[in-house]
Structure 1
């Protein structure tokens, strides 16, 4: 890809997200989402492979459907209220808007496109889809959280936690496993968005930080499957150690950073007399814990003095993220746990 084309694509992706973040008009937000979608399509399809074309097509069809539903919802809201303001959303429009934003992000039951798109993309593109591309719809969901119906958000959230955990158990591809991990963490965010939007925002920010660092380590070590992860310790013990802590943090084990938002979410739900919902979420998260611990076991099973039972992979390192990784590692793992509880 030429430098000019790469610059224009990057500019489109960045401007699309910034338009949505700064918008207070539904048409402006819709335009920003469309610009964001059109800009990333060439990035997904840049590989000369049929899987890349398939991924780009699935991404376009899903995002276009979600954008059409979002545009219909905002038009219906403007027709009934006479306002295009994002913060002025009535009940009927909110019922349509939440599924549209869930489809944009890849939350269940509109999650089918996310694992397939990530599997057909490069690790760098998968990193962009699971982090930057979720900022715009999450911003809209946060802005309209006062009008979000708790029964809809709770249903989508529970389905996402269950499907994210259940789907990740059978995966051997790291990109698909991270896709289901993203779905599960979106479930925690969406469930809490109508009750404690600040805690929900903290949860997704922490997960995006951990996910970005994990994908950078995958790119740096050329690891795409669980089989490749099993020989990582002999290649780079430091990367294997950081990945181990990242997986445990994503699982929500204390005292790592991923434990903090989950504790705050469960505390907030219990405070609002939703103990049954909090208990169900905690039990469903054990499904995700299973494949996190399995991957952790594979990473540490070849640590000395254990000998490697499988053939080591030849790993090329065309990119180096050492500076970024060194900055993100303490942020993604440890220092978030000292944050005070959010209201």
Structure 2
């Protein structure tokens, strides 16, 4: 892909997200989401592989369906209230349709089936973009309409997403699919407190984004795509292998790492709202996610020398400076943010 096309594409993605975050009209938000969708399609299909074309088609059809539902919801709301304002979603019907449209764009249960296939069919950098930046615009819209969102539906979708994300991730051997189901599980945690304490939901999703960025950077740095590749990560970079293991523990939400902070806040809010059964269910579902996080960490760290490796050793590769520059601050923030807050 030429440099000019890359600049135009990334500029369109950034501007569209900023427009969605700052808009007060559903029409402007819808147009910005369409611009965002059209801008990322060339990035998904740039590898010229049938799997990439399939992923592009699935992404386009899913996002187009979600945009149609969003436009339908905003039109019904404008018909009922006489305004296109985002904050005026007082009727339950358009609020429910809007919730389905936004969760479809983010990839949560029951509209999650496109996310693992799309992330598996594209490159690591594009998969990073889909699992992090592409979630900002929908979550901002959900935050803006959180006062009118049906709480029972949101809570049910959150519990289903956290449970299914952990359950389905245990059977995966491809790291991109594993991280896709991890994204689904973390989106479930975000939805749990969206109606009662939306600021906590924002803390959770942005913490997840900060943790996910160095994970993808390390995978790209070590050319790691499968669980079998994890067994020989130490031959490429022992330091990257150790940091990746700690990042996975942080994603799982183990104290005292950063990933534990938003989960603790969410559980505290659920108990405060007398939703203790939901808190217990979410905690149990997080144990399912912990299984595949620990499996990846085991393959990363416990098979280092002098232990035996289960696959052929890779040649040591030269580290790329651009990835290292982006990796250092994000990994440091992921590892030390919670201890700093506790002090």
| Correspondence for 1:74 | 74
Please give the alpha-carbon distance, in whole angstroms, between the structure 2 residues aligned to 1:153 and 1:315: 47
CA pair 290-198 structure 1, distance change in 2 beyond 3 A: same
State the SS of the aligned residue for 1:140.
helix
Out of 328, 331, 338, the residue aligned to residue 330 of structure 2 is: 328
1:1-343 maps to which residues of 2 (within 5 A)? 1-90=1-90, 91-314=92-315, 316=317, 319-320=320-321, 321-339=323-341
Tell me how far 1:317 sits from its aligned partner.
Answer: 5.1
Which stretch has the larger CA shift, 299-308 or 265-274? 299-308
State the SS of the aligned residue for 1:222.
coil
Q: Structure 1 length as normaliser, TM-score?
A: 0.97
CA pair 316-39 structure 1, distance change in 2 beyond 3 A: farther
Please give the alpha-carbon distance, in whole angstroms, between the structure 1 residues aligned to 2:316 and 2:29: 42
| Count of aligned pairs between the two proteins | 340
Gaps of 5+ in 2: none
State the SS of the aligned residue for 1:64.
helix
Tell me how far 1:314 sits from its aligned partner.
Answer: 3.9
Tell me how far 1:315 sits from its aligned partner.
Answer: 6.0
Please give the alpha-carbon distance, in whole angstroms, between the structure 2 residues aligned to 1:85 and 1:221: 47
Determine if contact 1:207/1:258 at 8 Å carries over to the other structure.
yes
Determine if contact 2:235/2:314 at 8 Å carries over to the other structure.
no
Please give the alpha-carbon distance, in whole angstroms, between the structure 2 residues aligned to 1:314 and 1:35: 42
Deviations 1:210-259 (A, max 9, x none): 11110011011100000001111232111011111111011110000000
Determine if contact 1:240/1:300 at 8 Å carries over to the other structure.
yes
Aligned residues: CA RMSD: 1.3
Which stretch has the larger CA shift, 201-210 or 328-337? 328-337
Tell me how far 1:277 sits from its aligned partner.
Answer: 0.6
Which stretch has the larger CA shift, 174-183 or 328-337? 328-337
Tell me how far 1:316 sits from its aligned partner.
Answer: 4.8
Determine if contact 1:74/1:84 at 8 Å carries over to the other structure.
yes
Please give the alpha-carbon distance, in whole angstroms, between the structure 1 residues aligned to 2:319 and 2:123: 14
Please give the alpha-carbon distance, in whole angstroms, between the structure 1 residues aligned to 2:26 and 2:74: 6
Please give the alpha-carbon distance, in whole angstroms, between the structure 2 residues aligned to 1:318 and 1:42: 27
Q: Structure 2 length as normaliser, TM-score?
A: 0.97
Please give the alpha-carbon distance, in whole angstroms, between the structure 2 residues aligned to 1:194 and 1:264: 14
State the SS of the aligned residue for 1:304.
coil
Determine if contact 1:221/1:317 at 8 Å carries over to the other structure.
no
Determine if contact 2:235/2:316 at 8 Å carries over to the other structure.
no
Deviations 1:31-90 (A, max 9, x none): 110000000001101111100000000000000000000110011001000111101102
Tell me how far 1:318 sits from its aligned partner.
Answer: 7.5
Deviations 1:184-214 (A, max 9, x none): 0000001111111111100000100111110
Determine if contact 1:234/1:302 at 8 Å carries over to the other structure.
no
